[in-house]
A and B are shown apart, each in its own frame.
Chain A
């Protein structure tokens, strides 16, 4: 007889599942890619599995252990677990239930660990999360023992884990191992795809199938092509988690998902589908596939594209945010309409403030723009609601603040390009709700050093201007809400405000080596940043034609309702 917590988790999940008005199709991994040998995860993987996710032991006196299921989103019900474990106590995972079979709890081949060595899910009363989702912290403690001895080839192993040091994740023979020393992944052989694999949140996909063995591992900024290699070993499945060798101290890993199929899923052409299913849930990396729809598919060649809306149908992640209650960070994606997933932000931040640590690039170039300094990150959530801009059309906004009195208190996001962007360059910027109209502002600048390219305004007189070696100044003033569209094209440069030309001519020939959105550019020619909000910021490595400019304005204004 399952206990009440298990029934609750299952029942809630099934309500959502059978709500035909809101659920269009199952995206559960094993519904689409069935016949797994085993499947352990912090998310529901199989609609035919109705049991619990895991069993948790509380170190609190007399509390004991209990099974826990999934919430309405199909994610391990971590809130219920934290409540059960109790303030100040640790929650130890003693059983991870197999979801590969039809039926309830215990229908599969579950894996276990004792209360002393089991991975932690709650640490001193606080949930352990990776990228905003529950994770089992192993490594320094242990992983799980299994009843498996070995799995013969062919097999396919998919996992979602995080590591910050050398970690052995699977067995002790054909080990799935992340090596900090060489930054490679090993499954019988190195499968780093020619890239080093930095520590972090990893999506691993490996196949053992003789000379058709295959592997790849993706992390935030690296999505390598797969590597084909020869390996004839059976998979040692006796251990899952960093148990080898000898529970080495200092080795940490966080476990979220392990799925094994007794078949070659790569040979069956399922690799990209499985990877996409996993990344859509865990938001590990931004795909760099060329868009086939969205603004960036119509107006191609973007060097960098940041927005609170989905500009490419291939882009999955909009923002990485930090909540200031415990400084956890999580990636935030888009909802079904391509809007910023504001519900995910609210769920993650709850009553804490939320700050943007990364605005993910939606182009294919991986030019994500970051702020590593705690005190100057733009704000996106105020503890109650997502920050927005607009009057008739209200959309989420990144809030930048600045004060001339304390120059380095200016919020900003910074990016250094791998190689300088040469002209022509087109910049399209949606900036709104400017809090003052008299102060100088700067929307485009390098991080430091002499001015290269800039888009700025002056306070007295209140004018807009841009620069690439030669300054062009408009008599037009900045508006509270505006779309600034600037074409840097040496002698044929031009700036538009709300699709009206406001100044043109020779702006100079400078290139752009780095980009600072908001903030103060220090050093010579210092400029202050943005006093207000930014919603979209796109750079193209080309001079957009008049036809394209009109099209971009129409598309953008129809979404943001600026003018």
Chain B
């Protein structure tokens, strides 16, 4: 397990929390596309998210080594639209990578855009993502 903290910047008129939630939902759609989801599905997201106690910024807490199943029916349109900062060439590469792996699994780390900040547990702690525990 290799935990990675991915702070999400506000973009597209969305706050950090809103955009992180939307991206997280689209990560879940890699495995269970919207076309297969049921309205009463409780499961909506792949990974937990954490809020910075001072800045309010939200980070997705992923696992770079986790193998994510790519559903054959996956549609990347909405995920790509949430990543305007990612160069088009890199988006094209992501599409090709996903297309080549439909029906199989890929490590989450291979899906993280080069433009995304990636923090280790130690780095996240140093940047104040976890306040010191206070009893009780």
Contact = CB atoms under 8 A, between A and B. Distances in A.
Given A373-B48, A408-B48, A526-B130, A329 B43 contact: yes
B32 A220 contact: no
B131 A375 contact: no
Interface string A120-161: 000010000011000000000000000000000000000000
Contacts of A467: 136
A467 B121 CA distance: 30
Interface in A393-423: 405-409
Contacts of B32: 326-327
Nearest to B40: A200
Most chain A CB atoms below 10 A, which of B40, B61, B72, B121: B40
B46 A329 contact: no
B131 A523 contact: yes
Given A130-B38, A357-B43, A408 B136 contact: no
B134 interface: yes
Taking chain B's interface residues, is the majority helix, strand, or loop, or is none over half, making it mixed?
loop
B40 A201 contact: yes
Interface string B68-83: 0000100000000000
Given A198-B39, A199-B39, A522-B50, A373 B45 contact: yes
Contact of B42 (A370, A375, A522, A525): A370
A370 to B, nearest CB: 5
A48 interface: no
Contact of B136 (A163, A320, A471): A471
Sort chain B's interface into a size bin: 20 to 34
Interface residues of A, number: 46
B15 interface: no
B134 A329 contact: no
Contacts of A278: none
B3 A406 contact: yes
A327 B44 CA distance: 11
Contact of A465 (B31, B43, B134, B136): B136
Contacts of A432: none
B133 A164 contact: no
Given A373-B48, A407-B130, A523-B53, A329 B42 contact: yes
A367 to B, nearest CB: 15
Contacts of A493: none
A243 interface: no
A67 interface: no
A179 interface: no
Contacts of B28: 374
A92 interface: no
A372 interface: yes
Nearest to A407: B130
B97 interface: no
Interface string A158-175: 000011100000000000
Given A523-B131, A525-B135, A377 B43 contact: yes
B108 to A, nearest CB: 10
A358 interface: yes
B63 to A, nearest CB: 8
A329 B121 contact: no
Contact of A327 (B1, B43, B53, B136): B43
A527 B47 CA distance: 19
Interface of A: 124, 130-131, 162-164, 198-201, 219-220, 320, 322, 326-329, 357-358, 370-377, 405-409, 448, 451, 454, 456, 465, 467, 471, 522-527
10 contacts: A162-B40, A198-B39, A326-B32, A327-B32, A329-B41, A372-B44, A375-B47, A409-B48, A471-B135, A522-B51
Interface of B: 1, 3, 28, 31-32, 36, 38-48, 50-51, 53, 61, 63, 66, 72, 121, 130-131, 133-136
Q: Which 4 A-B pairs have the closest CB atoms?
A: A357-B42, A408-B48, A200-B39, A199-B39
Given A357-B42, A524-B134, 11 more contacts: A164-B38, A327-B31, A329-B42, A372-B43, A372-B44, A373-B46, A374-B45, A376-B48, A405-B121, A467-B136, A524-B131
